[in-house]
Amino acid sequence: MILPIVLYGSKILRSKAPDIGRDDNFTELAENMILTLKNQQGYGLAGPQVNVLKNIFIIDTTSVNEEGTEPAVKTYFNPEILDYNTDEVYYNEGCLSIPGIYEDVIRPDKIEVRYRDENFDVKEETLGGMAARIFQHEYDHLQGILFIDRLSVLRKKMINSKLKQIARRSII
């Protein structure tokens, strides 16, 4: 089932998500989130963006054409970032919950992460490039942080009227 996307202005996007437990019905949620992400043609989708305050996100790198990035659709339960590389890069980011706004955001180019997979087994890996960027963007959602929070005060002022327009459309 395709889930509705929560828009900027909704309080859930500013809430910290609790961990998913082994007994939660996370399989169906993950499947629905994958369908929703594919329908929206995005790179990532976090639980709060579909009005589910749980520590889950989906990453789809199948359309990323970058050396070293494995094309895959992955589900991350209870993700953590263990370490950040000091090399940072800018990239133009957008967000399904903030449609029509794209801004350059600086993030570490490589990260070490831990998460639970679809079998609820603990995994650790190193991510680089776009996979690292998408992971960080979606991880921020689980912390109640939006990519616009990483912009300068001046850039935020410049997009403030657009943000207000999106918030007026938010129904949740």
Catalytic, 31? Answer no
What is the β-pairing status of strands 73-84 and 110-116? antiparallel
CA distance 30 to 115: 14
Among residues 67, 93, 112, 138, the one annotated as catalytic is 138
How far from chain centre, in Å, is Cα 116?
16
Q: How far apart are CA 137 and CA 112, in angstroms?
A: 14
* Residue whose token pair is 């961990």: 19
Q: How far apart are CA 36 and CA 56, in angstroms?
A: 14
- Encoded tokens for 127: 């991510």
Active site residues: 138
